Amino acid sequence: MDQKYPDRVALIEPGAEGAQIRIDLIEAAQSTIDFSYYEISNGQFTSVLLSCLLSAADRGVKIRILQEGLTHLAYERGKLKEILRGFETHPNIEVKYYEKSNLLTPWAWHARLHEKIIIVDKKLALIGGRNIGNKYFLKDEYKKWYVNDREALIYKEGSQKSIIGDMHTYYDQLWEYKHTKPHRKNIWAKQREQRDISNEKLRIYYKKVKDEHPELFTRSDWMERTYPTKDVQFVHNTLGRNNKDPCCLKALLQLASQASSSIIVQSPYIIPTRRMRKVINEYDIDWDKVSILTNSKRSSPNPIAISAYFNHRKNIVDTVDQVHEYQGPDSIHSKSYVIDDSISIIGTYNLDSRSSYINTESMVIITSEKFTQELQLHIQTSIDNSMLVGKDYTYGGEAEDKKPLWLFSKLVGLFEYFL
């Protein structure tokens, strides 16, 4: 966290904007695209996005796609699987998987790639919590299944040094990691023929989308849509399967210990395990300055995580100034932290043990009052759709939803280190 760079930044908040910015970035690429996502699932937008990647590769852009090696088993089905296999035969596209599932190494099953990063020409980068799937982008269609999330767009201005260089170095480390492998080393002639057909079908789809929706392919003015900053820093967890140094957690705690007025925490999952609390207690934090926004039982799509949160809810409410629980009908998935109205942290890091010690995680620390003001407005919008948990652990005398989680909470408490 030593290097600081005066990059320009923009906050990407609504799902529709998140979809558009991805198309903008890929269409703007001239030489390279580095693309990594924890989850890529079938859907209308996924097909559009991947068709844009293929078009970029066809015009000579070198593309690296790094996928999570276990979750792809759940999400690579049907059309998505066909497209990604087709990419493997393109001369300008490489596809690799981080920690591919292996029955012979069960101790590695928990080591997951949690990144959500796009880096274009080492000049533009997008980082945040949003995965690739319709529920992250199409709010009107998905309603209660919609997932609210956000990202930071980073733009390198001119020839100055940029934090994007640090992000690219980290991507290289992930790409060259000894347990990052391609789907298969050799492709048979018959498979190559099938995959060439898949690529051609995707080219036809791209042309159809571009003809029918030309508004999606207008060019962005990166200077106009970004704010200047005092500095931007990049932090990531160490690589490896075991005993990771909780770099993201420590960076957050260091900033929180220096706060003079306020600390805002937004995380979909808050599970402060014993090991985390030991680290937290090493920092002098004024907990009266801390406000928390997280999911409620009603809004959370993850019953295991929300059950684990309820094991700690009473202590959290007793410790911090305010706890707000989002009421839906959709859910929040953003991982954002604000210090003193001037420092914003956005990335993949959830406030739980898995993000602290097990997953790959990364985040950017942005010092910019304008950017932070905009972020706070969006956080406040979610708070306005939340209930404040009183010091009696109710919503102003009204008890929270009485779903039968208490037994489940006891069970998940036995393995919350892996949540």
Distance, in Å, from the CA atom of 375 to the CA atom of 13, rounded to the nearest integer, reads: 9
Nearest to 293 by CA among 356, 250, 248, 338: 338
> Which structure tokens are listed for 248?
């993201």
- 279-313 pLDDT, tens per residue? 999 999 999 999 999 999 999 999 999 999 999 99
- 307-364 pLDDT, tens per residue? 999 999 999 999 999 999 999 999 999 999 999 999 999 999 999 999 999 999 999 9
Is the pLDDT reported for residue 413 higher than 70?
no
pLDDT tier for residue 154 given thresholds of 50, 70 and 90: very high
Distance, in Å, from the CA atom of 171 to the CA atom of 414, rounded to the nearest integer, reads: 34
Is the pLDDT reported for residue 243 higher than 90?
no
Percentage of residues of the chain with pLDDT beyond 70: 92
Is the pLDDT reported for residue 54 higher than 70?
yes
Domains defined for the chain, CATH in brackets = 8-224 (3.30.870.10), 231-418 (3.30.870.10)
Residue 411: per-residue pLDDT: 72
Give buried/exposed letters for 40-60 (b at 16+ CB in 10 A, else e).
bbbbebbbbbbbbbbbbbeee
Sign, CA torsion 269/273/277/278:
negative
* Number of residues written out for the chain: 419
Is the pLDDT reported for residue 408 higher than 70?
no
Residue 108: per-residue pLDDT: 73
Residue 162: phi, psi to the nearest 5?
Answer: -140, 150
Is the pLDDT reported for residue 234 higher than 90?
yes
Q: Regarding predicted confidence, which is higher, 408 or 65?
A: 65
Tell me the mean pLDDT in the region 122-136. 96
Residue type, 66: L
Give buried/exposed letters for 370-391 (b at 16+ CB in 10 A, else e).
ebbebbbebbeebbeebbebee
Residue 417 has, within 13 A of its CA and on its CB side, a CA count of: 11
pLDDT tier for residue 107 given thresholds of 50, 70 and 90: confident
Write the CA distances from 375 to 130, 295, 341, integer angstroms. 16, 18, 10
231-236 and 362-367: which strand pairing? antiparallel
- 348-359 pLDDT, tens per residue? 999 999 999 999
pLDDT tier for residue 5 given thresholds of 50, 70 and 90: confident
Which among 1-5, 124-128, 217-221, 298-302 has the top mean pLDDT? 124-128
Is the pLDDT reported for residue 403 higher than 60?
no
CB 40 within 8 A of CB 67: yes
Single pTM value for the model:
0.93
Tell me the mean pLDDT in the region 376-398. 93
Q: Regarding predicted confidence, which is higher, 57 or 81?
A: 57
